[in-house]
């Protein structure tokens, strides 16, 4: 019988790779990094046979010519390798991925699939830090969190529940871990692609539309625009969300609309859809918070949590 043995939620930031020496709050950064390493050790101890890796897209693997709400990689998977993250082919558990895709469709989710998927740091950051040294294949699941209209938070929770059912019904006796990569609160200087204002927003929208074959040509200016942004971290929201995870009530996030979540915690908080899917796949087992650090240099509230179903519900 297939078993879900662990869930992990973790923030990501490529600035860990590119601007570590410019990080002012080095003590916070080191504590966050140590929390990632601790989560990596928990994953190693759980001995998963495969990892369902739920992450976001930052317009390096998907572009505005086609943006599905949910996409599962069922064949080749290549990481774009931006900002010092892993680059090149990633090992996919193809039979499990295809079984999950079929099961989710049967369960009423018109999920897209890709036999040649390109991912970016929305998932490869987790490969770099959480799966470092672990010889384990992934099943990549990409969630649209930046190109409105976005899937509702309720739909994401439902997908997590359906994913749980699909995993538990999978043939064999595999041990599966689920990772949600993204968040917490942060605001990126990214436009609503439907109504860009000013030179920078028009440039970004054009990059998102035209970047499929040459995204690297846009990357330097993209980074400049992001680095010029001011941090907008809501520590109260972050701590409240982490408390919900601790008490197995992360489903409360579905009470937010997309607009309300952006107002409360920034457009980057839309990535919490990945945590919500992971938590629902773990049946909202109570989480252990391994770390939380607000890092304005990285524009983001950085958190790490582990959900161990062996702990049971309190």
**Banded pLDDT at 313 (limits 50, 70, 90):** low
**Banded pLDDT at 227 (limits 50, 70, 90):** confident
Asked about 313 being catalytic, the answer comes back as: no
Q: Give the pLDDT of residue 215.
A: 86
**Banded pLDDT at 237 (limits 50, 70, 90):** very high
Contact 7, 278 (CB under 8 A): yes
Residue-wise pLDDT tens digits, 15-24: 999 999 999 9
Q: Rounded to an integer, what distance in angstroms lies between the CA atom of residue 308 and that of residue 314?
A: 12
CA trace torsion 115, 176, 123, 70 (10° rounding)? 50
Residue-wise pLDDT tens digits, 147-157: 999 999 999 99
Calculate mean pLDDT across residues 97-113.
Answer: 97
Q: Rounded to an integer, what distance in angstroms lies between the CA atom of residue 4 and that of residue 173?
A: 10
Q: Rounded to an integer, what distance in angstroms lies between the CA atom of residue 73 and that of residue 250?
A: 26
Q: Is 83 left (phi over 0), alpha (psi -120 to 50) or beta?
A: left
Q: What are phi and psi of 260, to 5 degrees?
A: -65, -40
Residue-wise pLDDT tens digits, 212-223: 888 889 989 998
Q: Give the pLDDT of residue 263.
A: 97
Q: Please provide the average confidence, as pLDDT, over all residues in the chain.
A: 95
Q: Rounded to an integer, what distance in angstroms lies between the CA atom of residue 204 and that of residue 25?
A: 29
**Banded pLDDT at 230 (limits 50, 70, 90):** confident
Exposure b/e, 273-299, CB count within 10 A at least 16 = b: bbbbbbbbbbbbbbbbbbbbbbbbbbb
The residue that leads in pLDDT, 313 or 230, is: 230
CA trace torsion 258, 264, 268, 271 (10° rounding)? -60
Asked about 121 being catalytic, the answer comes back as: yes
Does 255 have pLDDT greater than 70? yes
Residue 197 burial (C-beta neighbours within 10 Å; 0-12, 13-18, 19+): exposed
Q: What are phi and psi of 5, to 5 degrees?
A: -100, -20
* Domains defined along the chain, listed by start: 3-188+229-309 (3.40.830.10)
Q: Give the pLDDT of residue 147.
A: 95
Calculate mean pLDDT across residues 112-140.
Answer: 97
Calculate mean pLDDT across residues 249-278.
Answer: 97
Q: Give the pLDDT of residue 228.
A: 86
Does 312 have pLDDT greater than 80? no
Q: Which residue, 13, 26, 33, is CA-closest to 227?
A: 13
Calculate mean pLDDT across residues 201-218.
Answer: 91
Which candidate in 186, 197, 247, 313 is catalytic?
A: 186
Does 264 have pLDDT greater than 80? yes
Alpha carbon 97 to chain centroid distance? 17
Which candidate in 12, 121, 125, 284 is catalytic?
A: 121
């Amino acid at each position: 019988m297939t078993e879900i043995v662990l869930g992990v939620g973790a923030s990501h930031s490529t600035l860990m790779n590119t601007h570590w020496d410019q990080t002012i709050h080095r003590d916070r950064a080191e504590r966050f990094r140590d929390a990632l390493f601790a989560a990596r050790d928990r994953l190693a101890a759980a001995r998963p046979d495969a990892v369902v890796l739920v992450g976001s897209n930052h317009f390096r693997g998907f572009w505005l010519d086609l943006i599905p709400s949910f996409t599962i990689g069922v064949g080749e998977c290549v990481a774009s390798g931006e900002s010092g993250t892993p680059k090149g082919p990633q090992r996919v558990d193809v039979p499990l991925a295809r079984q999950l895709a079929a099961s989710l469709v049967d369960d009423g989710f018109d999920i897209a699939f890709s036999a040649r998927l390109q991912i970016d740091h929305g998932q490869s950051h987790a490969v770099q830090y959480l799966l470092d040294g672990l010889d384990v294949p992934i099943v990549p699941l990409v969630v649209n969190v930046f190109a409105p209209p976005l899937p509702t938070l309720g739909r994401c929770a439902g997908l997590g529940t359906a994913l749980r059912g699909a995993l538990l019904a999978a043939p064999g006796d595999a041990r599966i871990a689920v990772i949600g990569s993204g968040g917490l609160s942060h605001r990126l200087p990214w436009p609503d692609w439907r109504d860009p204002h000013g030179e920078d927003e028009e440039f970004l929208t054009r990059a998102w539309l035209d970047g499929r074959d040459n995204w690297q040509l846009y990357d330097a200016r993209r980074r400049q625009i992001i680095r010029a942004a001011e941090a907008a971290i809501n520590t109260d929201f972050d701590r409240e969300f982490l408390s919900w995870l601790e008490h197995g009530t992360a489903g409360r996030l579905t009470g937010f609309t997309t607009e309300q979540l952006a107002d409360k915690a920034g457009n980057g908080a839309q990535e919490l859809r990945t945590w919500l899917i992971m938590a629902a796949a773990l049946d909202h087992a109570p989480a252990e918070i391994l770390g939380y650090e607000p890092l304005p240099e990285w524009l983001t509230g950085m958190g790490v949590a582990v959900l161990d179903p062996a702990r049971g519900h309190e």
